[in-house]
């Protein structure tokens, strides 16, 4: 091999030697640069894609949880009681909502004392009638506790209403503050009863 001395290609396998011997042509800088940029961009894209994929989402499709066992159905006697109480419950519920909305409207200055009294009196009348109708029902033994709970709820609503109308007398909002927990307790009892008698009363909203 002779360095520095140009030799024709093909002469005794001097191809490489010829290259070594010849002054180096400058590498194709444009191609190199372009390839470098392209590879860099591809690298960034790959990295971004990998980062997107590598997460650990809580998979909602993992083992489907076992649903709670279905409740045993109401007996015919229980069902009859639930059906009989249902229309009374509708009225009690609507009146409870109206009474609370009355208190809200009064507190927000949208109702005067007279208006509040009218609304509460109307609800009180519903509770009075409901109490009479409930007293006339004969629950099966298995629902005696549920029945008592509903009676309690209506009594609590009546007490709440009695406290609220006192605002009409002395104008003191403190009566509303005293009345509200009574109403809240009554509302909880309605839910407890509802869970036994009408478990699908509230669907996803």
Partner 1 sequence: MRRRFWFLMGLAVLAAAVGAVGALTAPAPAQGPVYSVWLVESSRFMGVPFGAFMPDRAFVPGSDSKTNNINTVDLPVNVGVIKGGKEVILYDSGWKQQDYFKMTGTQHWAALPDQLKLLGINAADVTKIVIGHGHWDHAGQLMDFPNAILYVQREELRGIEWALNYPHPRIAAVNTSPGGCARTPACGYPPKTLDEIYGKVLSGKAVIVDGEMEIGPGLKIHPAFRAHTAGSQLLEAPTTIGKLMFGSDAYSSWEGIRDWMIANPQQTDTVQQFLAYEKCYKVTGGYQNCVAAHEPLSYTDKYPLTKNSWVGPNGSRMAEISLAPGEKSRKP
Rg (CA), the chain: 42
Question: Is residue 128 at the binding interface for partner 1, with CB under 8 A as the rule?
Answer: no
Closest distance between partner 1 and the C-beta of residue 181, in Å? 8
* Nearest alpha carbon to residue 154 among 118, 177, 183, 180: 183
* Nearest alpha carbon to residue 123 among 149, 148, 159, 147: 159
> Which DSSP category does 10 fall into?
T
Question: Is residue 108 at the binding interface for partner 1, with CB under 8 A as the rule?
Answer: yes
Closest distance between partner 1 and the C-beta of residue 184, in Å? 4
Question: Is residue 183 at the binding interface for partner 1, with CB under 8 A as the rule?
Answer: yes
Question: Is residue 176 at the binding interface for partner 1, with CB under 8 A as the rule?
Answer: yes
Question: Is residue 77 at the binding interface for partner 1, with CB under 8 A as the rule?
Answer: no
Which of 22, 112, 125, 195 lies at the binding interface for partner 1 (CB under 8 A)?
Answer: 195
The neighbour count for residue 92, using CB atoms within 10 Å, is: 25
> Which DSSP category does 106 fall into?
H
Binding mask 23-62 for partner 1 (x = CB under 8 A): -------x--xx--x---x-------------xxxxxxx-
């Amino acid at each position: 091999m002779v360095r520095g001395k140009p030799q024709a290609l093909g002469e005794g396998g001097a191809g490489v030697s010829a290259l070594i011997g010849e002054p180096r042509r400058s590498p194709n800088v444009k191609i190199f640069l372009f390839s470098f940029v392209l590879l860099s961009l591809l690298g960034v894209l790959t990295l971004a894609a990998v980062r997107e994929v590598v997460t650990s989402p809580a998979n909602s499709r993992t083992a489907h949880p076992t649903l709670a066992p279905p409740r045993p159905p109401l007996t015919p006697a229980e069902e009859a009681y639930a059906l009989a109480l249902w229309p009374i419950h509708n009225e009690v519920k609507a009146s409870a909502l109206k009474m609370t909305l009355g208190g809200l409207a009064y507190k927000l200055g949208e109702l005067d004392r007279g208006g509040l009294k009218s609304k509460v009196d109307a609800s009180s009348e519903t509770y009075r009638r409901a109490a009479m109708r409930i007293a006339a029902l004969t629950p099966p033994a298995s629902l005696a506790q549920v029945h008592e709970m509903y009676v309690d709820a209506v009594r609590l609503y009546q007490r709440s209403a009695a406290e609220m109308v006192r605002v009409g007398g002395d104008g003191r909002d403190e009566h509303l503050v005293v009345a509200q927990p009574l109403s809240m307790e009554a509302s909880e009892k309605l839910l407890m009863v509802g869970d036994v008698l009408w478990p699908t009363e509230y669907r996803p909203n």
